[in-house]
């Protein structure tokens, strides 16, 4: 298990293993810089879900340390301490989720780092049976453990096909033919997204599998939704008075960080900076912004996002549009991930200087016709707009579908941080 990092990423040191499994291909397959615990088999992914969500499976196993070198023994002990800490809180977590509705949508780390980031990534990853099988195994498990519960009616045929696959199991192995057929079906499936008929309407986007490929360069980042998916989104939003859109990546992000990602993409290295944002692809950016400008789309939008490792709230206004719409971009950091503090502080400061309301640099962005009003984190230092703390976001809505209170619950145990709008 401690040798997976040698196998999965496309590093120069992996030539022998790459030759064995990928025929010596040098293009990136799995691009994570930390792939030691990358899941490979379907059984592993299912075991991960069970152990992450329920305390019961932990009572059924008794892991014993393998024979290890002194260095790896120390690492094993450290990891065991972290796992024991995770297990200690799992009873409480299971109790919470037993009383809450839980709706899901995948992002890249549900499957693998940089999943479908570019057309080149797709062609490389799906062009080899080993990497395609790893991705497919994760997708089967996501379908069973997360996707199915969002909209059960859409998954009837897939569940039936999965049950048939399980019937082929012999000596702890599934029949590879039906397994590959199910994976091909899942890779072409186009109903991962869903809409709740609530008030306001809740529209959850699949920004991973319906990508708008770059026509200029296969190495450039793909758009997060293709033209057909964006057209369907617009139809879902028509004539609603308000709507909540769940987009894993922020639609309205930090302009300076997006510019840095664009520069790396121009240089041919989008994977180095995780260059996945709505503005990275011209076509997708223009269409999503035009949807917000459409006269029949909601007067109040709230976009809920994650993905980035910091939290912020923007209020977005469209000048010269009488009566709206009003848009709020609410972004929460991950529960575990944080941005390097000093680097984020400088990004925040430079973004305020370079993209101030009257700055001419705004005319080089896709959002030049929109006015961005940042909210201020309650405990932030003077001028700060980005809150760098792992945690969970919470939003309270009024009857018009507008956010009344926005909090970031900090994982470090500090009091919740309230996002304060302009007076």
Tokens of 101: 């509705």
Alpha-carbon distance of 290 to 296, in angstroms, equals 12
Alpha-carbon distance of 406 to 388, in angstroms, equals 16
pTM over 0.75: yes
Task: For 259-311, list the strands marked E by DSSP.
Answer: 300-305
pLDDT in tens, 379-389: 888 788 999 99
What pLDDT, on the 0 to 100 scale, is given for residue 22? 54
Closest CA to 214 of 287, 278, 119: 119
End-to-end, the C-alpha distance of the chain in Å comes to: 54
pLDDT in tens, 49-86: 999 999 999 999 988 888 999 999 999 999 999 999 99
- φ/ψ region of 75 (left if φ > 0, alpha if ψ in -120 to 50, else beta) reads alpha
Alpha-carbon distance of 387 to 373, in angstroms, equals 16
Alpha-carbon distance of 28 to 120, in angstroms, equals 9
Residues 6+ apart with CB under 8 A from 404: 396, 397, 398
Alpha-carbon distance of 184 to 210, in angstroms, equals 15
pLDDT in tens, 264-311: 666 666 555 566 788 888 888 899 988 888 888 888 899 999 988 899
- pLDDT bucket at 341, cuts 50 / 70 / 90: confident
């Amino acid at each position: 298990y401690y040798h997976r990092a040698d196998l999965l990423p496309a590093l120069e040191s992996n030539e022998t293993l790459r030759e064995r499994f990928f025929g010596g291909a040098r293009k990136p397959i799995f691009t994570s810089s930390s792939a030691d615990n990358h899941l490979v088999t379907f059984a592993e992914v299912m075991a991960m879900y069970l152990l992450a969500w329920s305390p019961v499976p932990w009572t059924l196993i008794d892991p014993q340390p393998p024979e290890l070198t002194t260095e790896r023994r120390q690492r094993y002990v450290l990891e065991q301490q972290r796992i024991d800490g995770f297990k200690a809180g799992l009873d409480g977590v299971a109790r919470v989720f037993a009383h809450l509705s839980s709706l899901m949508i995948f992002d890249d780390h549900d499957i693998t780092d940089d999943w479908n980031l570019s057309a080149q990534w797709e062609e490389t990853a799906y062009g080899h049976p080993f990497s395609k099988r790893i991705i497919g195994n994760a997708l089967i498990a996501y379908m069973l453990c997360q996707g199915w519960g969002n909209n059960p009616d859409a998954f009837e045929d897939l569940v039936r096909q999965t049950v048939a696959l399980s019937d082929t199991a012999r000596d702890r192995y599934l029949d590879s033919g039906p397994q590959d057929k199910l994976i091909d079906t899942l890779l072409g499936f186009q109903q991962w997204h869903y809409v709740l008929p609530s008030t306001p309407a809740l529209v959850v986007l699949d920004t991973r599998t319906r990508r708008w490929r770059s026509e200029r360069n296969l190495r450039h980042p793909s758009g997060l939704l293709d033209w057909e998916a964006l057209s369907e989104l617009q139809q879902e939003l028509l004539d609603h008075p308000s709507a909540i859109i769940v987009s894993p990546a922020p639609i309205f992000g930090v302009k300076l960080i997006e510019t840095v990602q664009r520069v790396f993409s121009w240089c041919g290295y989008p994977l180095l900076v995780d260059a996945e944002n709505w503005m990275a692809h011209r076509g997708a950016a223009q269409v999503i912004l035009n949807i917000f400008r459409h006269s029949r789309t909601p007067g109040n939008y709230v976009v809920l996002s994650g993905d980035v490792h910091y939290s912020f709230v923007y209020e977005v206004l469209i000048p010269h549009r009488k009566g709206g719409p009003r848009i709020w971009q609410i972004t929460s950091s991950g529960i575990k991930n944080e941005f390097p503090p000093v680097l984020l502080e400088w990004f925040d400061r430079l973004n305020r200087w370079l993209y101030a309301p009257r700055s001419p640099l705004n005319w080089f962005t896709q959002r030049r016709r929109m006015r961005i009003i940042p909210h201020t984190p309650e405990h932030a230092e003077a001028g700060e707009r980005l809150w760098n703390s792992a945690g969970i976001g919470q939003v309270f809505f009024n009857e018009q579908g507008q956010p009344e209170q926005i909090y970031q619950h900090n994982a470090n145990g500090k009091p919740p941080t309230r996002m304060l709008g302009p007076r």
